Amino acid sequence: MTTYRSGTIAVFGRPNVGKSTLINRLLGHKLLITSPKPQTTRHRILGIKTTPGAQFLYLDTPGLVWGGKGALARHMDGAAATAIAEADCLVLVTACPRLQDDDERALDFVKELRRDRPLLLALNKVDRLERKEALLPLIAALGARGLFGDIVPLSARDGSNLDALEGAIARSLPEQEALYPEDQLSDRGDRFLAAEFIREQVFRRFAKEIPYVTTVDIESYKVEKRLVRIEAVIYVEKEGQKAILVGQGGAGLKAVGTAARKTLERHLGQKVYLGLWVKVRGGWSDDMRALQSLGYGGDN
Ligand SMILES: Nc1nc2c(ncn2[C@@H]2O[C@H](COP(=O)(O)OP(=O)(O)OP(=O)(O)O)[C@@H](O)[C@H]2O)c(=O)[nH]1
Ligand SMILES: [Mg+2]
């Protein structure tokens, strides 16, 4: 009889390499928000995949940056560091075609904390390469460092070679029973995900500083007979930012609301009414108390 395996997998690396896209693909459904802008993920979020042979407990983490200013940056670094310190298996994600200085810093960071835990390397975005063979010297050089259990070139975007990564992770998990019920998909509830899906649209639709001065608070979340009724506030730091977000005749806010509502409806399998407002709350991102009241509590 084969033994069951189960454990936590910290997925970490510099911002924008595709960590959240990769976990969504591995899970087979959209749990985590993604965008072309760095520092989209702000929390440590557990995504659970249960198979007949293993239970994968993927921990998504904020991209590692060093020396970011303010309470929000400290919260994000802490969320990533906690996941890296505690997980059973560590997966460093980088993007093709080469490792950058910040990838090396992420690697140095984890070398200190690693103890004897398995460390795997996911070389993401191979779809950007015209000739995949171009990766062979890089893989050989990285392999020669003797740090990684496996080095897996893959594409989270088109799904290629994800089974190789999943196989390598499964082999490195501890032999033990499943730790969560098989129908549980995350440690986060739908109210949290609703706020995330709204923030995702701000990251995807607005340029420059707007995403970084934005957070979302769900004021009410009611499951009714025919729909889920959600009232949410998008907080920004200044009046001028509010004007940009709301847009001409409310068009900006409306586009955010419509797209977020559609993502939520797909996730919940139910109709959603989404009421959205924008409010100004100066300095929220550097105010510990404001952060805690906005859901950035503890180290998650
Ligand atoms: N071409 C290509 N793009 C990808 C791939 N995976 C992710 N991306 C894109 O890379 C960007 C960043 O993806 P995310 O998944 O948000 O990256 P992340 O590492 O979670 O970023 P942070 O949360 O900011 O640290 C998005 O535009 C993705 O669509 C891939 O395999 N190929
Ligand atoms: Mg992310």
Give me the mean pLDDT over the 155-179 stretch. Answer: 97
pLDDT number for residue 66? 81
Tell me how far apart the alpha carbons of residues 255 and 244 are, in angstroms, rounded to a whole number. Answer: 13
pLDDT number for residue 289? 85
Atom 16 in ligand 1: residue holding the nearest Cα = 34
Closest atom of ligand 1 relative to the 13 alpha carbon:
19
Q: What percent of the chain clears pLDDT 90, i.e. is strictly above it?
A: 91
pLDDT number for residue 38? 96
Residue type, 134: A
Tell me how far apart the alpha carbons of residues 21 and 18 are, in angstroms, rounded to a whole number. Answer: 5
Residue 298 has pLDDT above 70, yes or no: no
Instruction: Report how far ligand 2's centroid is from the alpha carbon of 39 (Å).
Output: 7
- Beta bridge partner(s), residue 215: 235
Instruction: Report how far ligand 2's centroid is from the alpha carbon of 11 (Å).
Output: 10
Tell me how far apart the alpha carbons of residues 221 and 152 are, in angstroms, rounded to a whole number. Answer: 41
Domains and CATH numbers, the chain: 5-172 (3.40.50.300), 190-293 (3.30.300.20)
Atom 21 in ligand 1: residue holding the nearest Cα = 16
DSSP of 221-262: EEE-SSEEEEEEEEEESSHHHHHHHH-GGGHHHHHHHHHHHH
Instruction: Report how far ligand 1's centroid is from the alpha carbon of 282 (Å).
Output: 30
Residue 67 pLDDT class (50, 70, 90 cuts): confident
What kind and span of H or E run contains 266? Answer: helix 251-268
pLDDT number for residue 299? 54
pLDDT number for residue 233? 97
pLDDT number for residue 208? 86
Atom 8 in ligand 1: residue holding the nearest Cα = 18
pLDDT number for residue 117? 97
pLDDT of 121-154, one tens digit each?
999 999 999 998 989 999 999 999 999 999 999 9
pTM of the model: 0.97
Closest atom of ligand 1 relative to the 37 alpha carbon:
24
Q: What are phi and psi of 183, to 5 degrees?
A: -95, 0
pLDDT mean across residues, the chain:
95
Instruction: Report how far ligand 2's centroid is from the alpha carbon of 223 (Å).
Output: 28
